[in-house]
Amino acid sequence: MSLVQGAAKLQAGSLVAPQITVLDTGGQYTHLIARRVRELGVYADVQASDTPSGKLRSRKGIIISGGPASVRESGSPDIDPEVLCAGIPVLGICYGHQLMARRLGGCVQKGTRGEYGVARLTITCEDDALWNGVAPSQIWMSHFDTVESVPPGFQITASSETSGIAAMSDPARKLFGLQFHPEVAHTEAGMRILDNFVFGICGAVQDWDLSQRVPFVEEQIRRIAGERNIFFFVSGGVDSTVAYTLCLRALGPQRVYGIYVDTGLMRKGETEFVHGAFEQLGATNFMIDHAEAEFLSALHGAFDPEEKRCIIGEQFVKVQERVLATEHFLDGHWILGQGTIYPDTIESGGTTHADLIKTHHNRVAGIQALIDSGRIIEPITSFYKDEVREIGRELGVPAPLLARHPFPGPGLAIRCLCSAASERVGKDPDGFLLPVRSVGVQGDARSYRAVLLLPSRPTPDQIHVTAPALTNRRSDINRVVALCGAKVDPGLLQVFEASITKQRLDVLREADAIVREFCGATGFESQVWQFPVVLLPVGAGSGRESLVLRPIQSVDGMTADVVLMPEAWLDELTSKLLALSSIAAVFYDLTHKPPGTIEWE
């Protein structure tokens, strides 16, 4: 059971029936929609898209989510057609909007070009109930298909630069469709639009109180753990620390054990930091396991991102099994705690129809087996990053720990790109084509494509105009980088065969430490949500590596905007990095998420 779903029971003393149901067609933002509705104080749940209409009779409203499929393909997620004629208000978002249009006799076509990122909402029907208090403003799109003509009875209520039909409605039947995503932070009036739907159109009433979540989660931890103790592998990141602290509070320090695994894939100084932080939290059962050699030998010769992620995940399980065995924890009195948060499950294909973007290290086969046998507890799996920080604050977790940028479980391994072959960097009409591939997410689906290098310094125009236009137009790339500085002409660069080695990790660790120190000293650190530094096996002569700077701003990691570092700072930082003998070039990632993911792998 999801902890948040259960929270509805706690606060009212009896089961609160969801007033709004989100039908899940596999979108990255399905649960975000439910969460936004809960932020309005209304309990919402998520159900499979094809849930029979009979099961939804008591709902005040239904929202059909976005999703990675095309409604034009056979076998794509569908709904019970009765849902659209049951008299209950329905809001279709993105794929849901297209599905509604197609089901009711409108026409959906493959667009001439995709539309990913921000756009401008132009309201064409002022008195539509969804637009109450909504002005023309920024909206956020992520789609390829478009509704070309609305079904009989519908009117077009808004447009955008690329979509003639950004919104449609049939007020008589209380059916509404939005091509854009009101649930993401980038849609300025998104909450107002959802408010109009939930209260104005559906007539829902407030029944949901977020302040109850901490006592509820603690109660659930005690219930799930029963007589068993909890064993945590902590990383020092916000998520595992907050999950651990919740367990510590629920069960007391004697029943919660923490182990920090030094995988050799951590940042400089990390082990010492974590040790100090956990002492401060009051952890009495805490130890460090040195597993660098195991991880590095398992990763030897792996080039593919998914293969690397799986190796690391499986290696975690092996280390866990070894530790559990040596500590005599396998006697059934212990269960494993994990700090998995909601985006970790969704981007790993956690809902029925979601496309796999990246396998999360908390969801590999060995862990799945423990989940299936009921030996895992994940106290914060229903929450998003910003909620986890709020919970941490409520629990009194020290501010420097909560302020830390997110850092991925697989560590520097997914920031240390590998290549199975050596290859020259190719001249391209738009710049240079770097033959290294990185992971992206476009229209809710995973992509794995090459990188385009613009041989000039990063500018706001490149970030906001050039890079989006290039990634929208070209199907061979999902990322664009600018050149901050290089020791050779970009045309002379080449990709070298490389896998993960301690030597390469040390280079990345050093570069990452330089960037962190610089950002801490200048204050840039607090201006960004996360700042991955990525190592590429691209260089010339003896300088066989390049670095990519990827500072981004985000609310919850589901979408991200590139942040441009002030020019003077970037110059200073670039020269510090180029002073490292193995570094040949420094690049700046110009790609928002989507179409790039935050991490490169």
Q: What residues are labeled active site?
A: 94, 181, 183
When the beta carbons of 490 and 557 are compared against ligand XMP, the nearer one is 557
Question: Does residue 406 touch ligand XMP according to CB under 6 A?
Answer: yes
Q: Please identify, using beta-carbon distances, which residue of 102 and 186 lies nearer to ligand XMP.
A: 186
CA–CA distances in Å: residue 379 to residues 225, 243, 455 = 11, 6, 47
Check residue 452 and give left, alpha or beta (phi > 0: left; psi -120 to 50: alpha).
beta
Burial 176-207 (b: 16+ CB within 10 A, else e): bbbbbbbbbbbbbbbebbbbbbbbebbebeeb
Q: Please state, in angstroms and rounded to a whole number, the distance separating the CA atoms of residues 68 and 170.
A: 25
When binding is defined by CB under 6 A, the residue of 557, 562, 578, 595 that contacts ligand XMP is 557
What residues from 558 to 587 belong to the interface with ligand XMP (CB under 6 A)?
none
| 415 makes contact with ligand XMP (CB under 6 A) | no
Confirm or reject binding of residue 483 to ligand XMP (CB under 6 A). Answer: no
Q: For the purposes of burial, counting CB atoms within 10 Å of the CB of 265, is it exposed (0-12), middle (13-18) or buried (19 or more)? A: buried
* Min separation Cβ 381 and ligand XMP, Å: 12
Q: Does 551 bind ligand XMP (CB under 6 A)?
A: no
Could you tell me the smallest distance in angstroms from the CB atom of residue 182 to ligand XMP?
21
* φ, ψ (nearest 5 deg) of residue 140: -125, 125
140-148, 405-413, 499-507, 520-528 -> range binding ligand XMP (CB under 6 A): 405-413
According to CB under 6 A, which one of 117, 410, 458, 539 is a site residue for ligand XMP? 410
Options 70-78, 100-108, 401-409, 494-502: segment touching ligand XMP (CB under 6 A): 401-409
Minimum CB separation of residue 444 from ligand XMP in Å reads: 13
Nearest to 286 by CA among 233, 212, 360, 228: 233
The pair of structure tokens assigned to 122 is 């132009």
CB of 530: closest distance to ligand XMP in angstroms? 5
**Minimum CB–partner distance for residue 503 and ligand XMP (Å):** 24
CB of 415 or CB of 487, closer to ligand XMP: 415
CB-nearer residue toward ligand XMP: 56 or 274: 274
The full DSSP string for 541-553 is TTB-EEEEE--EE
CB of 558 to ligand XMP, least distance (A): 7
Structure tokens at 11: 């606060």
Contact 544, 584 (CB under 8 A): yes
Residue 68 Cβ vs ligand XMP, minimum distance, rounded to whole Å: 15
Contact string 582-601 vs ligand XMP (x = CB under 6 A): -----------x---xxx--
Q: State how far the Cα of 310 lies from the Cα of 313, in Å rounded to an integer.
A: 5
Task: Select 179 or 245, whichever has its Cβ closest to ligand XMP.
Answer: 245
Contact 494, 539 (CB under 8 A): yes
Beta strands in 376-497, from DSSP E residues, in sequence order? 376-377, 423-424, 426-428, 431-442, 445-454, 477-486, 494-495
451 or 598: whose CB is closer to ligand XMP? 598
Residue 1 to residue 471: CA distance in whole angstroms:
40
Query: Residues with Cβ < 8 Å from 291, sequence gap 6 or more?
Result: 261, 262, 263, 264, 315, 319
310 vs 395, beta carbon nearer ligand XMP:
310
Site of tokens 């095309």:
70
Least spacing, CB of residue 481 vs ligand XMP, in Å: 16
SS3 142: strand
Residue 77, number of CB atoms within 10 A of its CB: 23
Query: Residues binding ligand XMP: what is the number (CB under 6 A)?
Result: 15
From the list 408, 443, 485, 551, which residue makes contact with ligand XMP (rule: CB under 6 A)?
Answer: 408
For the bound state, the minimum distance from the C-beta of residue 406 to ligand XMP, rounded and expressed in Å, comes to 4
Binding mask 359-388 for ligand XMP (x = CB under 6 A): -xx---------------------------
Q: How far is the CB of 596 from ligand XMP (least distance, A)?
A: 8
**From 409, 440, 468, 543, residue interacting with ligand XMP (rule: CB under 6 A):** 409
d(CA 17, CA 75): 31
Q: Between 490 and 596, name the residue whose CB sits nearer to ligand XMP.
A: 596
Q: Could you tell me if 280 and 273 are in contact, meaning their C-beta atoms sit under 8 angstroms apart?
A: no
In angstroms, the CA 79 to CA 26 distance is 12
Site membership for ligand XMP, residue 440 (CB under 6 A): no
Sole residue written with tokens 């976005």? 66
Cα 568 to Cα 584: distance, rounded to the nearest angstrom = 20
Give the residue with the Cβ less far from ligand XMP, 27 or 92: 27
Instruction: Give me the 36-75 binding string for ligand XMP, x by CB under 6 A, dash otherwise.
Output: ----------------------------------------
Sheet of 494-495, strand order: 423-424, 494-495, 538-539
Query: Is there binding between residue 525 and ligand XMP (CB under 6 A)?
Result: no
Residue-wise over 13-30: b if at least 16 C-beta within 10 A, else e?
eeebebbbbbbbbbbbbb
Q: Is 530 among the residues that bind ligand XMP (CB under 6 A)?
A: yes
Contact characters 341-360, ligand XMP, x per CB under 6 A? ---x--x----------x-x
237 token code pair: 């990141």
- In angstroms, what is the C-alpha Rg of the chain? 25
Q: For residues 170 and 239, which CB has a smaller minimum distance to ligand XMP in the complex?
A: 239
Between residue 116 and residue 155, which ones bind ligand XMP under the rule CB under 6 A?
none
Find tokens 């084509």 and name the residue: 433
**Shortest CB 317 distance to ligand XMP, Å:** 14
Applying CB under 6 A, the span of 93-101, 300-308, 404-412, 424-432 interacting with ligand XMP comes to 404-412
Comparing CB distances to ligand XMP, the nearer of 196 and 340 is 340
Longest Cα separation, the chain? 71
Residues 349 and 353: their CA atoms lie apart, in Å, by: 7
The binding site for ligand XMP (CB under 6 A) comprises 344, 347, 358, 360-361, 406, 408-410, 530, 557, 593, 597-599
